[in-house]
Amino acid sequence: MGFAGYDLTGRSAFVTGAASGIGRASAVLLASAGATVHCADRDENGLSKTRNLVTEAGGSCHVHPLDVTDRDAVRAAVTAAGGLDILAAVAGIMHTSSVLETSDDDLDRVLAVNFKGVLYACQEVARGMIARGAPGSLITMASGAVDAASPGLLCYSVAKAAVVQLTRTLATELGPHSIRVNAVAPGWIRTPMTARHDAERQHRAETTMARMSPLGRVGEPEDVAHTVLHLASDASSFMTGQILRPNGGATMPW
């Protein structure tokens, strides 16, 4: 990587949501930096593609088909992965509805994936680190939606705000064990999750989002993955409880 602080040789990382988007880009980049990567997702075909990309980049990858809302399944996968040094809890979903139209099912589903799934992964990986007496880095995935009210994104925004508080609380509790916990809060990133519309509507949405950034573009998964790598590495060894925002400088709600 050109800087020894980013060398992850000999370390092991667990990445949820690794079948596509930010999760896939993070898995590939962590592996390129030398980490053995354990990739988890419900999408087995996507996991297979991620494994191929990691292998092509000369990295080592193990796949774990996994529903992050199943605590027992998360525990089993983390146990199977063995001693872990890094967690990137990226798995998430997006749901759009007005506040008045939001149902219990909507809220429960989004909270289950976007908050509970992160909580379960952090709990299981941290327990393993503490049992081994090993330092480590837990990286959660928040969102730019926590910084401003976003019409139609109540469930998503609430779940991501909960991730921010989880991150800060874990950083306080796990610091004495030399376990760092930080969150990434991306702006608009071009991923399968944000590409929910037909091509014309998607183009309009991305054009609007690009105007909000001084850089004049929307983000790519790799833009976020580099932030994940920074938090996973020794380059961020004195950072914990922080919320990093790879958002192109955008300040308006999306």
CA dihedral (112, 115, 119, 120) in degrees, to 10, reads 20
What whole-number distance in Å separates Cα of residue 129 and Cα of residue 246?
28
* Nearest CA-CA partner of 171 in 236, 90, 221, 235: 236
Residue of 121, 127, 130 whose CA lies nearest to 166? 121
Q: Who's near 241: CB < 8 A, 6+ residues apart?
A: 167, 168, 171, 172, 181, 182
- Among candidate residues 115, 156, 188, 254, the one labeled active-site is 156
Alpha helices in the chain (DSSP H): 21-32, 44-56, 71-81, 104-111, 117-132, 154-174, 199-211, 221-232
Integer CA distances (angstroms), 84 to 4, 98, 122, 225, 234, in order? 20, 40, 11, 19, 15
Cα angle value 146/125/38 (rounded, 5°): 95
Residue 6 annotated as catalytic: no
User: In terms of Cα–Cα distance, which of 61, 74, 75 is closest to 26?
Assistant: 61
Phi first, then psi: give them for residue 172, nearest 5 degrees: -70, -45
Judge contact between 130 and 123, C-beta under 8 A: no
Which sequence positions are flagged as catalytic?
156
